Amino acid sequence: MSVYHLDKIFTPAAVAVIGASDQKGSIGYALMNNIQKGNYPGKVFPINPKYGTVNGLKSYPSIAEVGQPVDLAVIATPINTVPAIIGECVKAQVKGAIIVSAGGKEIGQKGRDIELKIKEEAAKADIRIIGPNCVGVICTHAKLYATFADRMPLTGNMAFISQSGALIGAILDFALKKQIGFSHFISVGSMLDGDFGDLLDHLGNDPHVDSIVLYMEGLTHPRKFMSAARAVSRIKPIIALKSGRSAAGAKAVASHTGSMAGEDTIYDAAFRRAGIVRVDTIEALFNAAELAAKQPVPKGTGLAVITNGGGPGVMAADALSRLRLAPVSLGPETIHKLDQFLPPFWSRANPIDILGDATPERYALAVETCLSAPEINGMLIIFVPQAISDGAEVAAILSKVLRGKRYPIFAVWMGDESVKKGREILSKAGIPTYETPEQAIESFMYMYDYAQNLELLQQTPPKLHHMLKFDKAGASTIINNALGKHQTFLTEPTSKALLSCYHIPVNRTELASTPETAVHLARDMGYPVAMKICSPDISHKSDAHGVQLDLRNDEDTRNAFKKIMAGARAYDPKAKIQGVTLQSMMARADYELILGCKNDPVFGPVLLFGMGGIMTEILKDQAIAFPPLNRLLARRLMESTRVYQLLKGYRNRPRADLHKLEEILISLSQLVVDFPEISELDINPLILVGSNPCAVDARVILEPSKIKSPLHLVISPYPAQYEVSAITKKGVQIFIRPIKPEDEPLLGDFFKTLSPKSIYMRFFSPMKSIPHAMMARFTQIDYDRDMALVAMRQDQGREEILGVARLMSKPGGIEPEFSVVVGDMWQGKGMGATLMEQLMAIAKEKGMTSVWGLVLAENTQMLALARKFDATVQSASGNQYTLRIDLKKHSASKSGQTIACSRIDR
């Protein structure tokens, strides 16, 4: 279903209210009343056979009898009647429905069956649905108030999406008090159809929306959500409150990784990867939302605190300190300017204490000075009630000083009744106000976190020092053999064999089921050896006395075997014991780490890294991430742990080879990308001796999977299947592959090879360089949504981009925009046509029906090439043409020349 059918929900030309009522206190009455009270400009059709008129409007027995086009149906009838109503909407060509009716899946199987019928009826005409069991939808810019909430928000540019209808009223009350305006208020209810991912996509493309706030209890389509959030968070802040941080519902799992990668931790990692700011409480959500709605995103942590009381300034500094930050140091020029008008006893530091007798004029001068200070990125203004100063007068003069300033400024007017008027003045002026310095600092840091997330999303990952090669066939044989024998638990030797296929270093490990076999293997390995229990039912070997170290002879080995068996039986008499494993004793480790993965029921595979060994679950020094990983993401995963500081070298501990650890994490990531059958995997510990890592213990649990790779992942991986070697019609040998985030430097070099004419043909305007943020958008694409192919050649080991072809899709769309550009040296050699052929093949595979692009009228080469692809050419605005290629009809290109097509990428 196309996300753009949501337009009919939020900006309909005509609305039918099914279940409309004249009976006060009913939902049907509230819906009609709110729609009319909001001055909705379109047509409204009440539908209820019981009434001749509703709220002064003619009422119709059914939507079929309206006889006029209807875009949106708002349904407030018993849930069991809704499938038939949706069927009527299909016949009436309605495109959107808001179902406020309760009684769906929340009541059990009967409700789920009804929802299934609703969905089946809606699918017949691609009707998009919000709900059921929702409070409705408000779109202030369209003057649509299709809700039975009893408060109407102010118009603004912040969208709010809530999975809880009960919160709507409370948030509306808060927003009115704080003078916060909203573009949208959306209650999603059961999310039968329209969900967080759909709504983020829609709101991300809505020019009336500057920021988005979510209250979330769970996800229905996590891959779609992550795709949408990663795209939208690059251009608009997303703030989320996810309920359910407790571990009350945690299930028992069979590995260290499973027990440590809990649901809430995984949501944290998902929000971080998607660039979403997560808050912990309703209060924090309100406070951060107010700042997002009224102020721009801070560009740094350079916060100045202006206060007329020393104590509150210290409180603000302490709040920053708890976040490992400090107020920005004032530059000599700033201090000099402040000296000109502040009393001799001012603090001469930040916090800037302008003293208790500060007048409104002194406040204004201090604020103006800080606005011009280059070291300051944001400003917290604190007012404490004093006999000399009036909070309302200070607020009034500051409102004038700050009018029109796009600068992160927020205020704390401490107290209650005496500062109430001042807070109201500031709120109306668009300046967020808080009751305490701690609240203000917390909100500022949430928005700074967003700025940091944005920077990280746009960071260019470094390339690997060498290509990583994997034995996927060997790994597949191990997994298929095990599952073929209905073995879900891999023994330690088999687990290590699987890791070896992906070049994760392991030590030799052998399985022995008798004491004599153990002795024979120990002699072959050479003493001293280590012995460990091998059982699918014993995760924590040390707890079962299942580890014996430094065995130096045959007698030690036999005795160790007996001790381990006795300890295992005492620990769990029902445990299935396969024997013991033996391996050579390793040198004393400099570090012990844990690496692992777990198949989460919502997000699919998640990776874990942290401090390993027997203290793993006590120290709880781990971080998690989602595959696929590159070097940048692998390094960030390590940096999120305390052990990373040790790995950089500490006192007499040597520095670990961090590049090797990155490669191991990338290899582990690729293993779980390739095999959905891996349910849980532990490497604990991965020991580091000098610069040499080694997995000395490993455990893998398999489950048959109906989902094929890579559809089990929440983030689409690099599509290596689209790599192809090709020879153009003019005989140029090239390698075509999807673009990678690491390609940003190569793409920059490619841009430098383009002539001003080629740049103008491609971007429709002259450009001397491409900003980093735009380069990040070009290279860090979501392969589920878009595709960009690069034509490459290698010259003495150096890669070079010769041309780029790109598909850009609207979410849920089947007609993507395309663009092509080829370097000036390589034009006329058939490279553009070769890139286009590959791009069209991918578009067909993805189910696209046609592609289109814009081209300048003077770009005759591109127009000629397009005709070779059976493109239709239509005049667009000005000197532009629209090209459209029907993918069912297009034929191979016969032209060998192309320059550039289409406008600048979104």
pLDDT per residue as tens digits for the range 769-812 = 888 888 988 999 999 889 999 999 987 778 899 999 999 987 77
Please count the CA atoms within 13 angstroms of the CA of 582 that sit on its side-chain side.
29
pLDDT of residue 262: 56
Question: For residue 266, what are the CA distances in angstroms to 242, 254, 597, 667?
Answer: 12, 18, 12, 21
Average pLDDT across the chain, whole number: 89
Q: Is the pLDDT of residue 155 over 80?
A: yes
Question: For residue 479, what are the CA distances in angstroms to 604, 677, 702, 797?
Answer: 18, 8, 8, 36
pLDDT of residue 106: 87
CB 396 within 8 A of CB 367: no
Closest CA to 506 of 649, 720, 697, 780: 697
CA–CA dist 127, 124 (Å, integer): 8
Name the DSSP class of 656: P
CA–CA dist 189, 195 (Å, integer): 9
Higher pLDDT, 410 or 466: 410
pLDDT of residue 713: 95
Average pLDDT in the 535-561 region? 91
pLDDT of residue 735: 94
Name the DSSP class of 721: G
- Please state whether beta strands 817-822 and 798-808 pair in parallel, antiparallel, or not at all (unpaired): antiparallel
Q: Is the pLDDT of residue 257 over 70?
A: no
Higher pLDDT, 905 or 316: 316
- Give 896's pLDDT tier (boundaries 50, 70, 90): very low
pLDDT > 70 in the chain, percent:
95
CA–CA dist 906, 904 (Å, integer): 7
Phi and psi at residue 189, to the nearest 5°: 60, -130
Which of 307-316, 710-719, 761-770 is predicted with the least confidence, judged by mean pLDDT? 761-770
- Give me the residues paired with residue 694 across strands: 687
Higher pLDDT, 286 or 883: 883
- Give 901's pLDDT tier (boundaries 50, 70, 90): very low
Q: How many CB atoms lie within 10 A of CB 471?
A: 14
Residues whose CB is less than 8 angstroms from the CB of residue 311 and which lie 6 or more positions away in sequence, other chains included: 384
Average pLDDT in the 890-900 region? 44
- Give me the residues paired with residue 155 across strands: 182
Task: Return the H-helix or E-strand segment holding 285.
Answer: helix 282-294
CA angle 593–597–598, rounded 5-degree value: 135
Q: Give the pLDDT confidence of 859-889 residue by residue, as tens digits.
A: 888 888 888 888 888 887 778 889 999 988 7
Name the DSSP class of 711: T
Q: Is the pLDDT of residue 253 over 50?
A: no
Q: Give the pLDDT confidence of 670-718 residue by residue, as tens digits.
A: 999 999 999 999 999 999 988 899 999 999 999 999 999 999 999 999 9
Show the tokens assigned to 885. 């290629």
R_g (Cα) of the chain, nearest Å: 32
Average pLDDT in the 294-313 region? 87
pLDDT of residue 447: 84
pLDDT of residue 235: 85
Show the tokens assigned to 136. 């409705």
> Sign of torsion, CA 819 822 828 829?
negative
pLDDT of residue 437: 93
3-class DSSP state of 154 = strand
pLDDT of residue 3: 53
CB 688 within 8 A of CB 593: yes
Please count the CA atoms within 13 angstroms of the CA of 833 that sit on its side-chain side.
27
Question: For residue 6, what are the CA distances in angstroms to 2, 71, 87, 186, 786?
Answer: 8, 10, 19, 12, 21
Phi and psi at residue 701, to the nearest 5°: -120, 130
CA–CA dist 519, 499 (Å, integer): 26
pLDDT of residue 258: 44
pLDDT of residue 454: 79
pLDDT of residue 83: 96
Q: What's the CA dihedral at 510, 515, 520, 526 to 10 degrees? A: 70
**Side chain identity at residue 85, one-letter code:** I
Name the DSSP class of 718: P
Average pLDDT in the 551-572 region? 94
CB 111 within 8 A of CB 136: no
CA–CA dist 597, 679 (Å, integer): 8
CA–CA dist 451, 445 (Å, integer): 10
Q: How many CB atoms lie within 10 A of CB 727?
A: 11
CA angle 213–168–3, rounded 5-degree value: 55
DSSP strands (E only) in 641-715: 678-689, 692-695, 698-702
Name the DSSP class of 296: P
Q: Is the pLDDT of residue 503 over 90?
A: yes
pLDDT of residue 537: 86
- Give 428's pLDDT tier (boundaries 50, 70, 90): confident
Task: Return the H-helix or E-strand segment holding 397.
Answer: helix 391-401
Burial of 425 (C-beta count, 10 Å sphere; 0-12/13-18/19+): buried
CA–CA dist 32, 610 (Å, integer): 57
* Edge-to-edge order in the sheet of strand 409-413: 352-353, 303-307, 378-383, 409-413, 433-434
Average pLDDT in the 71-94 region? 96
CA–CA dist 548, 567 (Å, integer): 11
pLDDT of residue 251: 41
pLDDT of residue 248: 44
pLDDT of residue 890: 62
CB 277 within 8 A of CB 442: no
What's this model's pTM, rounded to 2 decimal places? 0.85
Considering all CA atoms of the chain, what is the largest pairwise distance in Å, rounded to the nearest integer?
98
CA angle 399–404–407, rounded 5-degree value: 90
